[in-house]
A and B are shown apart, each in its own frame.
Chain A
């Protein structure tokens, strides 16, 4: 009997252990070769890339909750330990591939220390992964080399002089608290193009964020530090001036790719004009002025995502499907009807049920008109 219970318990514990892994495996949206080295991984030979993953984890913490700094002191020999400003780099990584840019092959695991995969020794048996020093240098220099244009060691390393020791308590708060300054967002960018029908494309950066609800990473997925921090540009005083039209040095396909995510089916003339465009205005573009309640809404509240930003019916009931003369509370329009008028049908005042036109009092009154006379009182 005891033996039987033991088998049952073992079986149960084993099945609960393997179950969640398989569920997650089905859910993840990853390239197979992120984790597997061979084309067809099997149960007997999963050919996993060697990285310990004792626990599955789907999301990385935000840059704010991660550590502020990280001290790299494993290779303390010629140089003092490197104080890596983790928070600062994590903030920058938000626009350049996120945590995965450095915590690679760690997609579904808890965050591992680099030295769990990268050996501290140059001479070792497994040479498929770089050693720890090389791993650090490859990660850091890929960007640092691009924006400093040199390979100086001392921008990260303080050289060791004699028997100097490293005191963690002496790390200045300037370093531990270092954060990336808020990225200045342009209101608009005017692009000079060689399109004959319309040379200028005005891109309203602020409206795409504030009105159309795009996040930074919707467009800036693979931004490089040097797209902002190119010292050559800063030196020559060539900071972006967004008041004048700018030329962009990328291919036509690449230029359009950025907008085509949403504007694929739009006409060229929507963006290409011969003069600078005015900001998006709902009443000018569509003839439907947004006021009061509608102004407060997200675009997607009316323009549902599956249909895109297409023209909608002007009828109230095309969106407010449950509105009729009995259920409609006239107070939402800002005018609370008095006891007499509340009894009438909509079409008694709104002739032909056209709510965009001024209501008429002529059906009952000869001497009254709206808005001089009101069938109730105004409310906010």
Chain B
């Protein structure tokens, strides 16, 4: 391979990369401007209605083929003694908190992936194993995943978990919004099984309207906030509660999408490939100065 060819290769590859980066950064910007589509689905979790029966936990495990005890064992309320997090064995869990308004009716809160409108995990995944579907679900592709676990670090709700116990083909585990079931026109398993319909599945915009109506009609019962309506750019799963969400272990999050900062830096560094070119130009010029110095010394 001659010197001339090598230079040509660099030239073309440089042009190509610049072109691709330019296009992809444009795409990313367009996606965040459009916002969620009109027919995006979601689930409204009304924690004031949840009775903490944990049927959803059972239904989730059964649907996703995870090992589970029989449903009758879920009546045991001693699990509420400590707070649990979703993990590789349970994609959703219910925790119980004291209710300052009525000590006899504790607040039960189901926890699972929130299916962000602008998911940090999708942004953080370096191989594109995560997908945000137009219907709302954020899913994970086992064939693409390389197990870097960046998604776990990126998630503002700390939801994705990793099958550390498996040596061969460990998976990232998280709620997939019952993507397969909803594709067939079925409801998510947890929504279908909930005895009190604390979980309502429907169009996200419609759910926000319903949540607003509930707060308006019973201002004494509800804390005046829909969690997930605006947090980190919005989430497909929305929550209503009778008390401050901070007391229910929800992280305090701003309105800006979680990937916003990281993407701004990353896309800033590579935008139109100017910073790398500038860097290489700087290094090149240093080299050139040094070479001319050397040449002078040699002379």
Which residues, 53 to 100 on A, are CB-close (under 8 Å) to B?
Answer: none
Q: Is B196 touching A137 in the complex (CB atoms < 8 A)?
A: yes
In contact, A122 and B51 (Cβ under 8 angstroms): no
In the complex, what residues of A have CB within 8 A of residue B69's CB? none
The digit string for A115-152, where 1 denotes a CB below 8 A from any CB of B, is: 00000001100011011011001100110011001111
Q: Which residues of A contact B104 (CB under 8 A)?
A: 145-146, 149, 226
Inside 8 A of B187's CB, which chain A residues have their CB? 122-123
Q: Is A122 a contact partner of B52 (Cβ separation < 8 A)?
A: no
B51:A145 contact, CB within 8 angstroms: yes
From known contacts A37-B213, A134-B194, A134-B196, infer whether A150 and B77 are also in contact, taking CB-CB under 8 Å: yes
Q: A23 → chain B, closest Cβ, in Å? A: 27
In the complex, B191 has a CB within 8 A of chain A: yes
Q: Which residues of B contact A141 (CB under 8 A)?
A: 51, 196
In the bound complex, do residue A127 and residue B210 qualify as a contact, i.e. CB atoms below 8 Å apart? yes
Q: Which residues of B contact A127 (CB under 8 A)?
A: 200-202, 206-207, 210
Query: When chains A and B are docked, how far (Å) is the Cα of A324 from the Cα of B151?
Result: 99
User: Given A137-B196, A145-B105, A151-B53: A122 and B202 within 8 A (CB)?
Assistant: no
CB neighbours (8 Å) of B216 from chain A are: 33
**Mask for A25-37, Cβ within 8 A of B = 1, else 0?**
0000000010001
Within the assembled complex, what's the spacing in Å between the Cα atoms of A91 and B77? 32
When the two chains form their complex, are residues B197 and A151 in contact, meaning their CB atoms are under 8 A apart? no
Could you say which of A130, A150, A152, A226 contacts B197, with CB atoms under 8 Å apart?
A130
B263 interface residue per 8 A CB criterion: no
Chain B min CB distance to A251 (Å) = 14
Closest to A123 in B: B187
Interface residue ranges of B157-199 to A (CB < 8 Å): 186-187, 191-192, 194-197
A137 to B196, CA, bound (A): 5
**In this assembly, does B7 line the interface, its C-beta being within 8 Å of a C-beta of chain A?**
no
Please encode chain B, from 198 to 220, with 1 for each CB lying within 8 Å of some chain A CB and 0 for all others: 00111000110010010011000
Interface centre among A37, A138, A152 (most CB of B within 10 A): A138
Residue in contact with A146 in the complex, picked from B105, B197, B200, CB distance below 8 Å:
B105
In the complex, what residues of A have CB within 8 A of residue B77's CB? 150
| Total number of B residues with any Cβ neighbor in A under 8 Å | 26
- State how many angstroms separate the Cβ of B122 from the closest Cβ of chain A: 28
The chain B residue sitting closest to A151, CB to CB, is B53
Chain A proximity of B250: nearest CB distance (Å): 23
Asked if A122 and B206 make an inter-chain contact with CB atoms under 8 angstroms apart, the answer reads no
- Complex Cα spacing A123 to B182, Å: 11
Indicate the member of B52, B102, B194, B196 with the most A CB atoms within 10 Å: B196
Q: How far is the CA of A137 from the CA of B194 in the complex (A)?
A: 10
Residue of B nearest to A133 (CB): B195
| A49 nearest in chain B by CB position | B217
User: Which of A131, A133, A151 interacts with B51 by CB under 8 Å?
Assistant: A151
Residues of A contacting B200 in the complex (Cβ-Cβ under 8 angstroms): 127, 130
B227 at the interface (CB under 8 A from A): no
Give the shortest distance, in Å, between A170 (CB) and chain B (any CB).
27
Residue of A nearest to B105 (CB): A146
Q: Give the chain A neighbours of B153 by CB distance below 8 A.
A: none
A131–B197 touching, CB < 8 Å = yes
**Residues of chain A lying within 8 A (CB to CB) of residue B186:** 123
A146 to B53, CA, bound (A): 14
Interface hits, B21-63 → A, CB 8 Å: 49, 51-53
Instruction: Name the B residues within 8 Å of A149 (CB-CB).
Output: 104
Using known A-B contacts A127-B202, A141-B51, A146-B104, determine if residue A33 contacts B217 with beta carbons closer than 8 Å: yes
Nearest CB of chain A from residue B104's CB, rounded to whole Å? 4
Task: Give bound CA distance, A141 to B53, whole Å.
Answer: 11
Given contacts A122-B192, A133-B195, A141-B196, contact A152 B75 (CB under 8 A): yes
Whether the pair B195, A128 counts as a contact (CB closer than 8 A) is: no
Residue of B nearest to A39 (CB): B216
Query: Within the assembled complex, what's the spacing in Å between the Cα atoms of A145 and B53?
Result: 11
Bound-complex Cα distance A122 to B192 (A): 7
Least CB separation from A144: chain B residue: B51
In chain A, what residue has the closest Cβ to B52? A151
Contact with A along B274-285 (1 / 0, CB 8 A): 000000000000
Question: What are the residues of chain A within 8 A of B195 when measuring CB–CB?
Answer: 133-134, 137
The reply to whether A128 and B213 contact each other, CB–CB distance below 8 Å, is yes
| Residues of the A chain whose Cβ atoms lie less than 8 Å from the Cβ of B51 | 137, 141, 145, 151
* A127 to B102 Cα, complex, angstroms: 28
Q: Write the nearest CB–CB distance from B70 to chain A, whole angstroms.
A: 13
Decide if B105 touches A128 in the complex (CB within 8 Å): no
Q: How far is it, in angstroms, between the C-alpha of A131 and the C-alpha of B196 when the chains are bound?
A: 9
Residues of B within 8 A of A142 (CB): 105
Task: Tell me the A35-55 residues at the B interface (CB within 8 Å).
Answer: 37
Least Cβ distance of B45 to chain A in Å? 13
The CA-CA distance from A121 to B197 in the complex, in Å, is 11
Residues of the A chain whose Cβ atoms lie less than 8 Å from the Cβ of B206: 127
Residues of A within 8 A of B53 (CB): 151
Contacts of A152 in B (CB 8 A): 75
Contact, CB under 8 Å: A138 / B75: no
26 sampled A-B residue pairs with Cβ under 8 A:
A33-B216, A122-B191, A122-B197, A123-B187, A123-B192, A127-B201, A127-B207, A128-B213, A130-B197, A131-B197, A134-B194, A134-B195, A137-B51, A137-B196, A138-B49, A138-B196, A138-B197, A141-B51, A142-B105, A145-B51, A146-B104, A150-B75, A150-B77, A151-B51, A151-B52, A226-B104
Give 8 new A-B contacts, CB below 8 A, not counting A123-B187, A138-B49, A151-B52. Answer: A37-B213, A122-B187, A127-B201, A137-B197, A145-B104, A149-B104, A150-B75, A151-B51
Ranked nearest first, the 8 interchain pairs of A and B with the lowest CB-CB distance are A134-B197, A146-B104, A130-B197, A127-B202, A137-B196, A151-B53, A137-B195, A138-B196
